[in-house]
Structure 1
Amino acid sequence: MTTSPGARLDTVVSRFAGTLLEVLAGTVDPAAVISDVVIDDPREQAPGRPGALLLCTTAGADDVPELLVRAVGCGAPALVVRAPLDMGPELRTRVERSGVAVLGLTAGATWAQLVVLLRTLLSSGPAGEELSTGIPAEDSFALANAIGALLGVPITIEDRDSQILAFSDRQSDTDRTRVETILGRGVPAHARRAQERAGVFKRLYASEKPLFIDTPQIEGEPGLPRVAMAIRAGDQVLGSIWAAVSEPLSEDKERVLVDAAKVVALHLLRRRIGVDVDRQVRADLVATALGGGPSAQGAVERLRLAGRTVAVAVMGLSPPDTEEGSADGAAGAGGPSYARERTADAFAFHLSVAAPGAVAALVGDVCCALIPGPDRKAPEDIAVLARRVADDFLERARSRPEGVSIGVGRAVSASDPAGLARSHRDADRALRVLRHRAPSRRQEGGAALFADVQVEALLLDTGDRLRDEGGLLDSPVARLRHHDRDHGTTLTDTVAHWLDHLGNTLNAASAMGVHPNTFRYRLRRAAEVARLDLADADARFAAMLELRLERP
């Protein structure tokens, strides 16, 4: 569920018509405002709120009468069911009399897509701000509609990564790529790659004028050409405007698009200021909550997590080797800090959909998140749920940066400062395990629950303590390594392979690529040099532990 400043119902319907929604029955009240999104599940018996849009994910035609009663009872102006839905004249009349519009989620669209786009629309920002043009600052979609109306074509406003910031109406006047772009909240990967190969972004970011792009020829698919215009603030490229056209724009419309890009730049800069302030406040609250000090409880309350069971997740954001930029190397916003902020924002947005109530913020060079779970679930289940959400993010990320991994701590009460700090330490230790794994093991997954890697974390801690104390003063493994360095032998590897294969000489010899008799001789020699009794279980364990502590 989400609460927001709201959007008019007719605006929601017109914006998503042809892409996500269609009116199945009833009349859309132009005065109705949608301020909430509620997934209606009779088993949950979640209370609706006035202004709610009810998403009835499992409803059929027989369920509509009961849904109308619930909608009227809670003041919901509309409900959404899966289309197509066979509704007879009698049921349509009943819908009309109720005053509730019945909308249909179009075939091919998913409920998740609808929820994401609705939340983006409803949580655009505080009401009341205005640009110098008179367009509400919180409504990027109104800005997109205004530009589209002036040009007479549908447009999208995109950031530097081809992610959708806003789009105009008139979905029926465009092609499949635009529909996929809107549903996926970003240009499809195949289209983006084709544009990069054709050098579209390099030319776009170098041009002060609109650029005509023969999209069907570039992508090798039927569709409409595009006219694109870079959005700049000084020398910095903030994004671009894309118009679906049948032919190049006239000179007058090109001037309109150039002027529109300046207005959009102002809008994005003003929004960025608000986002930066909000990001800093959230980061301070998250850091305070996880610090476990006397102010932690107040921070938890301001984050609206008091009394809830949460698991802390920590996402490591290793900076790239080179500064972040577009695929074409275009100049503009970039660098490791930008890459970290972008990935952290993407994780926060994912959590807002997958785990309502979760908060995430960039604290130092890691992104820390507090992920709540359903009140009825056990803490262990909530921790597993948090890890599943983290896994899902890493799997869904279109361009997952190198080195991104997520550690998840135990689930605790958010109102317990000591417990919250402990979960944070758990998550940090799980993240460290992932970062220290050998490259061959990093493919096992980018998220780890502390409970699943606790022994590996303990080994890392033990290794730290040994290094702090100057290492082992003397040991069988140390004697083997000293002998190998002086004589060019491989006795340490011989013992390591024998232990790894649980004393199976044939398998260990095969792994080392030597004859079994040669391996047996080396093993006997290793035992003599190291003064290691391989028949002693404690001695074997000590050697295995020391060898393991020295491995990544």
Structure 2
Amino acid sequence: MSPLSRSSWGRVFDDLGVTLLDVAHGGIDVDQQIGGIVIHDPLDEPVYPQNAIVLAIAVQEADALAELVAAAGRRGAVAVVVRASTDFPEEVRAAADGARVAILSLARGATWTQLAALLRSLLAEDDVGYTPAESLGGVSSGDLFAVANAIAALLDAPVTIEDRSSRVLAFSGGQEQADESRVETIIGRQVPDRYARELTEMGVFRELYRDDMPVVVDPVRLGEGVSTQRIAIAVRAGDEVLGSIWAAMDGALTPERTATLRDAAKLVALHLLRVRAGADAQRRLRAELVSRAVDGGAEARDALSRLGLAGHRVCVVAATLTALGDATEHDALADRERLTDALALHLSAVQHGAAVALVGDTVYGVLPVADRVAEERAAALAVDFLQRVGDRIPALIGIGRPADAVAEIARSRAEARRALRVLSERGARRTVASIADVETESLLLDLRDLRSSRGDPASGALARLAAYDELHDAHLIDTLAAWLDSFGDVGAAAASCFVHPNTFRYRLRRVAEVGAIDLDDPDARFAAMLDLRTR
């Protein structure tokens, strides 16, 4: 693998160095491969991949940082990232030297979320399996960062590749040579709103998407923070606009620059199409692997191995949307894929190795767990996820018990589905539940299904009360249900039915008479309650 392969230190520093990261202590080997990212949590130790980068969020005290660096070294990590600092105490430097771990500093103004997103984009942590090398224009297929660097070398200017929403898909090195707005764009992976609005009002996007010629943007018109001229060109596939290339460079738009940009746009179009096709293929592959894994059948072991979860204790979670309404089949699928992508990003950010995929109309996640409070941890992650997405992606999440062996994964999946069903039956009262939380309600639903499948006719006390209510509108079943739910408290039961207690007592006597039920008999009360819950 070349020194500038996607997961090497050389590649990371070529793309993020100076702008986001700097070596504060120790040294790095540009050929060293990076195995993944770990977000440090002092209350819940994460799983460390080999050669990990550890993000030391909010770790400021010298003794805590020294302890973290030493622990990271023991777990095979190669670097710890801290907030920018000019110097470190001797105990921290000594711990780093002893653990052979480099300390990197994150630039002021950049957030940890931005750094994690950029690193994951560079490291391509979510790749599944092995894809044979393919070249487009001399660059590995789909490697937009390499394409951006190649275009930047031809133009001698920093370059970004953006989608139609002005989100940065890839960028070249040397962005700090442009201006303040470009660095802000790279850090946020999005053109700031104030510049996007100005570009729209200037008609730049309209002109850009009109044909295949470059457009020059005067930096003075974009306002404060922009000092370098922008030259942009649309990236097309036939009549479809896929995105655009933006170069920050001064000087005239010469015929040579125009030719270079037009050729570059054609090359980027090929790569974007390859990325889109690869994403679709990878989505299908991941869905197939996750489906095999949660089925727990003969192919589950191989699927877990390809997902990188072989030998791990895992927990299955199941999620579904709650507000599809009258959405078309296409829109419903898009909403489910959005839920899948969001949940995958959230789980992978806090738990390395989590695999998430859409199987049918349900999103399944296979979450590696290392402790004995796996269900509580999974529930906390699910609650945090739903709080973050809010009403944008209304969903329910069920959680199965941990599986210590491959044969137990199917059981964990079935439990997650059962918990999800209980949540769906409940309405909006709760959005996350483990099977342990709703075991009884799940059993009642199973009993209801059994009675329905056997076609058992209505009989007994409830049948007699239902027939009487239908003839006389007497609300006897409602009276019995309220009394049982209130543990025999007539006052509370009457209030729930919005009637006077004396009226409620009269109705309760009619329940006993019409239904031929002895309300003083605990077995009769249990039978009535069970009948109410399962019909």
Task: Confirm or deny a common fold (TM above 0.5).
Answer: yes
* Distance in 2 between residues matched to 1:156 and 1:212, nearest whole Å: 16
* Distance in 2 between residues matched to 1:24 and 1:316, nearest whole Å: 45
Closer, same or farther: CA 222–298 of 1 in aligned 2, 3 Å: same
Aligned pairs for 1:74-89 within 5 A: 79-87=80-88
* Distance in 2 between residues matched to 1:212 and 1:229, nearest whole Å: 9
Q: CA deviation at 1:163?
A: 5.8
Aligned pairs for 1:146-165 within 5 A: 150=155, 155=160, 157-158=162-163, 164-165=168-169
* Distance in 2 between residues matched to 1:11 and 1:493, nearest whole Å: 69
| Residue among 506, 516, 522 paired with 1:531 | 516
Matching residue of 2:382: 390
Per-residue displacement from partner, 1:457-512 (whole Å, max 9, x unpaired)?
A: 11111111111122453132232222222223323222222222222222222233
Aligned pairs for 1:234-383 within 5 A: 234=238, 238=242, 240-241=243-244, 243=246, 260-317=264-321, 321-323=326-328, 335-374=331-370, 377-378=371-372, 381-383=373-375
Closer, same or farther: CA 259–387 of 1 in aligned 2, 3 Å: farther
Q: CA deviation at 1:410?
A: 0.7
Tell me if the contact between 1:60 and 1:85 (Cα under 8 Å) persists in the aligned partners: no
- Give me the identity figure in percent: 40
Q: CA deviation at 1:279?
A: 3.1
Q: CA deviation at 1:450?
A: 0.9
Matching residue of 1:330: none
* Distance in 1 between residues matched to 2:485 and 2:434, nearest whole Å: 25
Matching residue of 1:13: 13
Q: CA deviation at 1:25?
A: 5.5
Per-residue displacement from partner, 1:210-264 (whole Å, max 9, x unpaired)?
A: 899999999xx977699987755446565x34859899x9798898777655433
For the residue of structure 1 that corresponds to 2:383, the secondary structure is helix
Q: TM-score, normalised by structure 2?
A: 0.75
Q: CA deviation at 1:385?
A: 2.0
For the residue of structure 2 that corresponds to 1:84, the secondary structure is coil
Tell me, which stretches of 5 or more residues in structure 1 are unaligned?
Answer: 325-333
1:453 equivalent to 2:456? Answer no
| Residue among 447, 451, 470 paired with 1:485 | 470
Matching residue of 2:411: 422
Matching residue of 1:329: none
* Distance in 2 between residues matched to 1:113 and 1:260, nearest whole Å: 28
Per-residue displacement from partner, 1:347-387 (whole Å, max 9, x unpaired)?
A: 2333333221222222222222221112xx22xx1232223
For the residue of structure 2 that corresponds to 1:335, the secondary structure is helix
1:134 equivalent to 2:141? Answer no
Q: State the one-letter code of the partner of 1:534.
A: L
For the residue of structure 1 that corresponds to 2:139, the secondary structure is coil
Matching residue of 1:410: 401
For the residue of structure 2 that corresponds to 1:307, the secondary structure is coil
* Distance in 2 between residues matched to 1:461 and 1:215, nearest whole Å: 67
Q: CA deviation at 1:6?
A: 3.8
Q: State the one-letter code of the partner of 2:123.
A: L
Tell me if the contact between 1:154 and 1:173 (Cα under 8 Å) persists in the aligned partners: no
Closer, same or farther: CA 337–52 of 1 in aligned 2, 3 Å: closer
| Residue among 469, 480, 494 paired with 1:495 | 480
Per-residue displacement from partner, 1:385-444 (whole Å, max 9, x unpaired)?
A: 223233333333377434x322111111233x2x111111111111111222124x1xx3
Aligned pairs for 1:49-88 within 5 A: 53=53, 55=55, 58=59, 79-87=80-88
For the residue of structure 2 that corresponds to 1:451, the secondary structure is coil
* Distance in 1 between residues matched to 2:288 and 2:234, nearest whole Å: 34
Q: State the one-letter code of the partner of 1:438.
A: G
Tell me if the contact between 1:6 and 1:36 (Cα under 8 Å) persists in the aligned partners: no
For the residue of structure 2 that corresponds to 1:448, the secondary structure is strand
Tell me if the contact between 1:5 and 1:123 (Cα under 8 Å) persists in the aligned partners: no
Per-residue displacement from partner, 1:40-79 (whole Å, max 9, x unpaired)?
A: 98x9899996x76565564767899999999999998865
Tell me if the contact between 1:147 and 1:155 (Cα under 8 Å) persists in the aligned partners: no
Q: State the one-letter code of the partner of 2:362.
A: V
* Distance in 1 between residues matched to 2:499 and 2:72, nearest whole Å: 76
* Distance in 2 between residues matched to 1:499 and 1:201, nearest whole Å: 69
For the residue of structure 1 that corresponds to 2:120, the secondary structure is helix
Tell me if the contact between 1:359 and 1:369 (Cα under 8 Å) persists in the aligned partners: yes
Q: State the one-letter code of the partner of 2:393.
A: P
Matching residue of 2:34: 35
For the residue of structure 2 that corresponds to 1:411, the secondary structure is coil
Closer, same or farther: CA 128–140 of 1 in aligned 2, 3 Å: farther
Closer, same or farther: CA 103–304 of 1 in aligned 2, 3 Å: closer
Q: State the one-letter code of the partner of 1:411.
A: P
Across the two proteins, how many residue pairs are aligned to each other?
515
Q: State the one-letter code of the partner of 2:427.
A: A
Closer, same or farther: CA 128–506 of 1 in aligned 2, 3 Å: closer
Closer, same or farther: CA 486–61 of 1 in aligned 2, 3 Å: closer
Matching residue of 2:104: 103
* Distance in 2 between residues matched to 1:65 and 1:132, nearest whole Å: 46
Tell me if the contact between 2:356 and 2:366 (Cα under 8 Å) persists in the aligned partners: yes
Tell me if the contact between 1:344 and 1:360 (Cα under 8 Å) persists in the aligned partners: yes
Tell me, which stretches of 5 or more residues in structure 2 are unaligned?
Answer: none
Tell me if the contact between 2:5 and 2:11 (Cα under 8 Å) persists in the aligned partners: no
* Distance in 1 between residues matched to 2:190 and 2:522, nearest whole Å: 58
* Distance in 2 between residues matched to 1:203 and 1:405, nearest whole Å: 41
Q: State the one-letter code of the partner of 1:35.
A: I
Q: CA deviation at 1:277?
A: 3.2
Q: TM-score, normalised by structure 1?
A: 0.73
Q: State the one-letter code of the partner of 2:420.
A: L
For the residue of structure 1 that corresponds to 2:311, the secondary structure is coil
Closer, same or farther: CA 39–292 of 1 in aligned 2, 3 Å: closer
* Distance in 2 between residues matched to 1:129 and 1:204, nearest whole Å: 37
Closer, same or farther: CA 257–485 of 1 in aligned 2, 3 Å: farther
Aligned-residue Cα RMSD (Å) equals 5.2
